[in-house]
Amino acid sequence: MKFTIEQKALSKILRLVGRKMPEAKKSDVVVRLSACAARVFVESNQTVAGVEALVFEDGSCTLPRKEFMDLISSYRDRQNLTIEANARFIEVASSRREVLSYAAKLTPPAQFQVFPVTDTWVATGEMPSTSRSGRSSR
């Protein structure tokens, strides 16, 4: 598994899924981190959160939630983080931690439609024309 993600976005979803559910007696100590379908998902405490990311290689791993949250928050001065995981370790920038489990194959928790980016106007140097009536202003 390998992906690049905004540090603030990952920190936020880690905090959100780290909250204990009202009916639960205690918080989960483990978090599942998954990367697929151009998104990163974090699962803990019966909650799944996801955010768009640049995913180079799909995969999923589980690791201690508190330890991972502390690791990610230690890089708060960086805008983006590249995270890589395998069957033994997860690597964030220059830090390496052991994972509890790892899976190279997975399916996303929901269906997502991914649209191709078509910024041909950038290549031609022309700004796209817009008008209030929906017709071209040319």
- pLDDT tens for each residue of 97-130: 999 999 998 877 666 555 555 555 555 556 555 5
CATH of 2-124, one of 3.40.50.800, 3.40.50.300, 3.40.50.1100, 3.10.150.10: 3.10.150.10
In the chain, where the domains are located: 2-124
Query: Angle at CA 52, nearest 5°, toward 63 and 61?
Result: 20
Give the model confidence (pLDDT) of 34-92 as tens digits. 999 889 999 988 888 889 999 999 999 999 999 999 999 999 999 999 999 999 999 99
Q: Are strands 95-98 and 101-103 parallel, antiparallel or unpaired?
A: unpaired
For the question of whether the overall pTM of this predicted structure is more than 0.85, the answer is no
Name the more confident of 114 and 10.
Answer: 10
Q: What is the pLDDT of residue 138?
A: 46
